[in-house]
Chain A
Amino acid sequence: ETGVTQTPRHLVMGMTNKKSLKCEQHLGHNAMYWYKQSAKKPLELMFVYSLEERVENNSVPSRFSPECPNSSHLFLHLHTLQPEDSALYLCASSQEVERGYEQYFGPGTRLTVT
């Protein structure tokens, strides 16, 4: 266990559905991240939060909407997704948003869009 939990572990949704992914870290970290991992592609960093403020936002489609209500919780709200959005979505946390701090990953949510 890395101290980062994600729910659900698996999710199947239609293109018209709205769902949310949840991440919780029990490490007292100040930074949290959402990653997308597609088959045979490198991990893609989607969003970065530091102390509940979104620090950076990669060129992610607006159908993905992150929310960080406090430093321990991170959500990814999904709506009108496309089949190509099917992937493993990983949450991670680190002590600070600095290059020297190790990131601890959750187990991921396997998302399938039908």
Chain B
Amino acid sequence: KNQVEQSPQSLIILEGKNCTLQCNYTVSPFSNLRWYKQDTGRGPVSLTIMTFSENTKSNGRYTATLDADTKQSSLHITASQLSDSASYICVVSADRGSTLGRLYFGRGTQLTVWP
């Protein structure tokens, strides 16, 4: 069964600290993996997208890694800021099937950054 599991479910860190969010998936065949940031009351915004051949991709203080062999991805946030408080959603796309069947969403990790 194709699934996307994210951990932790929620996380609280102090401003300026680093943190790492995890995404494990069983989606096959794999096409790509995206990390989205969703602020409260807003729509998700794409942070990174990685295909099978990419191991790491950065977007400012956000760095995503992908291990296609173990089917794991992580999102590392460096020097966190208050504005990083949001839900981070992992989305995995399968390489075949209908559009509705291709996208698999995680439940998200709720990150709170305290001053």
Chain A residues proximal to chain B, CB less than 8 Å: 2, 4, 6, 40-45, 48, 55-56, 58, 90-92, 97, 99-100, 102-108, 110
Contact A106 B43, CB 8 Å, known A43-B89, A99-B93: yes
Query: What 5 A-B pairs are tightest by C-beta distance, nearest first?
Result: A105-B43, A42-B105, A43-B105, A99-B93, A56-B100
The docked-state distance in angstroms from the alpha carbon of A26 to that of B98 is 26
Give the size category of B's interface with A: 20 to 34
Chain B residues proximal to chain A, CB less than 8 Å: 4, 31-32, 34, 36, 41-46, 49, 89, 91, 93-95, 98-100, 102-108
> CB distance B32 to A4 under 8 Å?
no
Contact A105 B99, CB 8 Å, known A40-B107, A42-B4, A99-B31: no
The docked-state distance in angstroms from the alpha carbon of A110 to that of B98 is 28
> CB distance A58 to B93 under 8 Å?
no
The docked-state distance in angstroms from the alpha carbon of A48 to that of B99 is 8
Using Cβ atoms and an 8 Å threshold, which residues of chain B touch A91? 43
CB distance from A54 to the nearest CB of B (A): 11
Give the residue name and chain of the B residue nearest to A108 (CB).
B43
Give the residue name and chain of the A residue nearest to B46 (CB).
A102
Using Cβ atoms and an 8 Å threshold, which residues of chain A touch B102? 99
Using Cβ atoms and an 8 Å threshold, which residues of chain A touch B100? 45, 48, 56, 58
Contact A99 B95, CB 8 Å, known A42-B107, A43-B105, A45-B103: yes
Using Cβ atoms and an 8 Å threshold, which residues of chain A touch B44? 43, 90, 105
CB distance from A92 to the nearest CB of B (A): 7
